Structure 1
Amino acid sequence: MVDLTELGATIRRTRIDSGISQLDLAGMSHLSRVTVNYAERGRVAVGADALLRILQPLGLSIGGPQIPNQNAVGLLAKSASVSFRSELPVTQLERAFVTGRVDDQWLPHFSTLIDEATDAMLLRGVREVADRFEIPATTIWRNLKRLAATIVSPNPRWRHGD
């Protein structure tokens, strides 16, 4: 049996560590912010389907092993480079996460990354860079939102929250 209070605390901690708001997570989960709030508080009113939808973007699961956060940035750089001749260097990806700026030559790679990377992989990357550079994950998430606005991303994930 799952302890909903403990699971809720894990959801909240992982969301905060990822630098996203309840509204951001609600958008990624296709649920209301109230449902995310209830889940974080361990309320019984949240159904199993809603819980699973909340856990997925955070890279969490009930009972199963969690995906390790290590090397998410490397995987993101590779996935952003699949359609291009040159591979996005990990250092450029980290720089963009930390500063919110991208050299023009890498804009196509970032357009692919911003539009196509999964929520779970992006959030893993945010947590990894935040830990490595000792900066708040909220700053990195804000930088990604700024990049998405610059690129004019059609992905709805970027329209939630501040």
Structure 2
Amino acid sequence: MDLAQIGIEIRNKRVQTGLLQEHLANFAGLSRVTINQLENGTLKDLGFAKLKAVMDVIGMDVATVQPAALKSALAVAALSVSTSYRDLLSPDMLSQMLRSGDAPKRYQPHLMALLDETPLPVVVKAVAEAATPEVPAKKIMKNLSRWAVEWKTCRAVW
């Protein structure tokens, strides 16, 4: 959910509770213009503390919502890193490699694409999906870091 969508929800809740923009602004310690821009989706940025103050006034909670578009990051990652290669990497194979830290030579280019080109939110979610009680996400991240150093990948975050 982005700030514009949150603004729409805030407007709906504000109207439902019978508050004017001016009231909400005063109660939250902001200007009416800021509330107006928030509700109309024209506000570029609003810090967390200010957003939380607005939401607290009208009884809304800040909750983490997983984007619906990304149901299986392992599937997305496996498909995207297999695009340029003859050998396809399945989500199960990717999961196993992430957990074990073993990368068969023929799949190293796929894994390098994962490290260098795959969007980081997809990588992080794929790591979480691959993790098990026996092989926690922290261990998988260490495997990724080791591969990045070993293969001299371009992305500096590893």
Pairwise same-fold verdict (TM > 0.5): yes
Match of 2:83 in 1: 82
Q: How much does 1:141 deviate?
A: 0.6
Q: Measure, in 2, the Cα distance between the counterparts of 1:50 and 1:122.
A: 27
Gap change, CA 1:125 and 1:49, over 3 Å in 2 = farther
Residues 1:93 and 2:94 are matched in the alignment: yes
- Unaligned 5+ segments in structure 1 are 1-47, 52-61
Identity of aligned residues (%): 26
CA RMSD in angstroms, aligned pairs only: 2.3
**Runs (4+) off by over 3 Å:** 48-51, 62-65
1:7-156 paired onto structure 2 within 5 Å: 65-67=65-67, 70-130=71-131, 133-134=132-133, 135-156=135-156
Match of 1:37 in 2: none
State the SS of the aligned residue for 2:157: helix
Q: Measure, in 2, the Cα distance between the counterparts of 1:121 and 1:106.
A: 19
Q: Measure, in 2, the Cα distance between the counterparts of 1:89 and 1:64.
A: 29
Q: Measure, in 2, the Cα distance between the counterparts of 1:105 and 1:50.
A: 46
Q: Measure, in 2, the Cα distance between the counterparts of 1:49 and 1:70.
A: 29
Q: Measure, in 1, the Cα distance between the counterparts of 2:114 and 2:121.
A: 13
Gap change, CA 1:140 and 1:50, over 3 Å in 2 = farther
Q: Measure, in 1, the Cα distance between the counterparts of 2:77 and 2:88.
A: 11
State the SS of the aligned residue for 1:74: helix
Choose between structure 1 and 2 for higher RCO, CA contacts under 8 A separated by at least 6 residues.
Answer: 1
State the SS of the aligned residue for 2:125: helix
Q: Measure, in 1, the Cα distance between the counterparts of 2:73 and 2:154.
A: 23
Query: What letter matches 2:92 in structure 1?
Result: T
Q: Measure, in 2, the Cα distance between the counterparts of 1:136 and 1:129.
A: 9
Q: How much does 1:84 deviate?
A: 1.1
State the SS of the aligned residue for 2:128: helix
- Unaligned 5+ segments in structure 2 are 1-44, 49-61
